[in-house]
Amino acid sequence: MKKTMNEKAPTTGAASRKRGAGPQLFLKPARERSLRRLHPWVFSGAIDRLEGEAGSGDTVCVRAADGTFLAWAAYSPASQIRARVWSFSEAEQPDENLLRARVSAAIARRQSVMGDANALRLVHAESDALPGVVADRYGDTLVVQLTSAGAERWRNVIVESLREASGCKLLFERSDGDVRALEGLASRVGMLNGEGSAVAEMKPDVIEIRENGIRYLVDIGAGQKTGFFLDQRDNRASVAALARGREVLNCFCYTGGFTLSAQAGGAASVLSVDSSAPALTLARRNVALNALDTARSHWVEADVFSYLRDLGREGRTFDLIILDPPKFAPTSRDAERAARGYKDINLNALKLLRPGGYLATFSCSSGVSADLFQKIVAGAAADAGASCAIEQRFHAAADHPVMLEFPEGEYLKGLLLRKR
């Protein structure tokens, strides 16, 4: 009798001590708080013991020290994030149906955010209750990134559900980020055939997409991340709206997202800097593809840190500067080193900015919060002797949702500053 009551109300009052057949992950006393707040990560330091056996990606039942059910999660023995939650409901044990439903729901949520673009993120990992699963749509092609042990364990179901629900003809896998190594998984890059396995021999072509009325070529095979930084879509539109008649400096330009936006918005000139030669080559092709004035765009292959100093020595100044560096701090442990990097580029950029000019400055580091980022930029402005108004705060576009219970999902933040 008592046992039945516990099963019906497993998360309240007396603990559910029912032990299923599968592996059980017990937390240390008082370490269940974040899971109760629906945060989907179980760190290795919070774990007391694993009862039963679990391999990489296997489903484990996570329990509080007193045995209360907390979550179903994917076990990842190599990672500091030892388990990632699939479900907080005891009745919702992960299976094919659950994963299919999650993929369909994620794609259904995107219907309202499509706009003019034919490229958007269909699945955004934890924010879509699919930890380790990212899927970016570029026209009829879907680029899939599986970065967690759990996602890898369910790869066939995930890939086939994505194929069905997205209607995309071609699926290409880009599971080659550093996160995969942290999970103890090898890289996988290649076309995805019907079985959900990557076939590396087939090389995809460069794909053309459309965003904010601009055409871009995306190299899904060799480009960074899945090929294009879709999260900056709205922010590129904001920059376009500011650009008319301005002399623009675009740092970390990649394939020219902000460069083309500024030129389409009527910039007088755009000087674009990146350390990647292939990115600059594609950026130049993008300018030509849009029949924009190639005489107004100048390209430099350089390290932004030292190039900003060179520009300062040459006495160059600009009306609009964009700083969109790569992730300096993947986790909060790297925040201090990252802070030095952000301060350096913001300080040197502000010195090049004319009074009345704009600085659009970004951070995509999960380990640096929006608050901390603003403090770092304020420190840079103080050292540059620049007084600046915050005219806008930037975020990732709506196809990259942020969950209240998972603030790590708010990795992209930015400020639009106007120098007085």
Binding ligand SAH by CB under 6 A: which of 23, 31, 305, 418? 305
Binding ligand SAH by CB under 6 A: which of 293, 303, 310, 391? 303
DSSP track, 158-203:
HHHHHHHHH--SEEEEEE-SHHHHHTT---EEEEE-TTS-EETTPP
DSSP reduced 3-state for 357: strand
d(CA 164, CA 123) in angstroms, rounded, equals 14
C-alpha to C-alpha distances, 295 to 2, 70, 268, 271, 394, nearest whole angstrom: 79, 61, 10, 11, 30
d(CA 40, CA 126) in angstroms, rounded, equals 7
* Residue, CB closest to ligand SAH: 257
C-alpha angle 362-368-369 in degrees, rounded to nearest 5: 90
The torsion defined by the Cα of 160, 166, 170 and 173, in degrees rounded to 10, comes to -60
For residue 388, the minimal CB distance to ligand SAH (Å) is 21
Considering only the stretches 72-80, 97-105, 290-298, 321-329, report the one whose residues sit in contact with ligand SAH under the rule CB under 6 A. Answer: 321-329
Nearest alpha-carbon partner for 138 in 220, 61, 78, 29: 220
Q: Cβ closer to ligand SAH: 88 or 307?
A: 307
232 touches ligand SAH (CB under 6 A): yes
Considering only the stretches 193-201, 322-330, 351-359, 412-420, report the one whose residues sit in contact with ligand SAH under the rule CB under 6 A. Answer: 322-330
Nearest alpha-carbon partner for 365 in 337, 345, 387: 337
Q: Cβ closer to ligand SAH: 254 or 406?
A: 254
Q: Using the Cα atoms of residue 352, residue 356, residue 362 and residue 368 in order, give the sign of their dihedral.
A: positive
**Per-residue contact track with ligand SAH, 110 to 129, x per CB under 6 A?**
--------------------
88 touches ligand SAH (CB under 6 A): no
Q: Would you call 364 a catalytic residue per the annotation?
A: yes
Binding ligand SAH by CB under 6 A: which of 194, 245, 326, 355? 326
Considering only the stretches 1-9, 93-101, 324-332, 387-395, report the one whose residues sit in contact with ligand SAH under the rule CB under 6 A. Answer: 324-332
Q: Cβ closer to ligand SAH: 253 or 292?
A: 253
d(CA 327, CA 365) in angstroms, rounded, equals 5
252 touches ligand SAH (CB under 6 A): yes
Considering only the stretches 110-118, 299-307, 368-376, 405-413, report the one whose residues sit in contact with ligand SAH under the rule CB under 6 A. Answer: 299-307
- Cβ atoms within 10 A of the Cβ of 276, count? 16
For residue 350, the minimal CB distance to ligand SAH (Å) is 18
Marked catalytic residue, from 61, 168, 251, 364: 364
Pull the structure tokens for residue 13: 């009052």
| Burial status of residue 313 (CB atoms within 10 A of its CB: 0-12, 13-18, 19 or more) | exposed
Q: Cβ closer to ligand SAH: 20 or 213?
A: 213
For residue 279, the minimal CB distance to ligand SAH (Å) is 5
Q: Cβ closer to ligand SAH: 156 or 276?
A: 276
Q: Cβ closer to ligand SAH: 59 or 365?
A: 365
Judged by CB under 6 A, the number of residues near ligand SAH is 20
**Per-residue contact track with ligand SAH, 256 to 275, x per CB under 6 A?**
-xx--------------xxx
Q: Cβ closer to ligand SAH: 48 or 176?
A: 176
H-helix segments, 24-154 = 33-36, 96-109, 149-153
For residue 67, the minimal CB distance to ligand SAH (Å) is 47
Interactions with ligand SAH, residue window 278-297 (CB under 6 A): 279
Considering only the stretches 41-49, 51-59, 201-209, 318-326, report the one whose residues sit in contact with ligand SAH under the rule CB under 6 A. Answer: 318-326
d(CA 364, CA 254) in angstroms, rounded, equals 14
Burial 74-84 (b: 16+ CB within 10 A, else e): bbbbebebbbb
Binding ligand SAH by CB under 6 A: which of 192, 304, 311, 352? 304
d(CA 399, CA 404) in angstroms, rounded, equals 16
DSSP track, 207-274:
EEEEETTEEEEE-TTTSSTTSS-GGGHHHHHHHHHH-TT-EEEEES-TTTHHHHHHHHTT-SEEEEEE
Q: Cβ closer to ligand SAH: 275 or 374?
A: 275
| Number of Cα atoms under 13 Å in the Cβ half of residue 193 | 8
Q: Cβ closer to ligand SAH: 70 or 217?
A: 217
286 Rama class: left (phi>0) / alpha (psi -120 to 50) / beta: alpha
Q: List active site positions.
A: 364
Residues that bind ligand SAH (CB under 6 A): 224, 229, 232, 252-255, 257-258, 273-276, 279, 303-305, 324-326
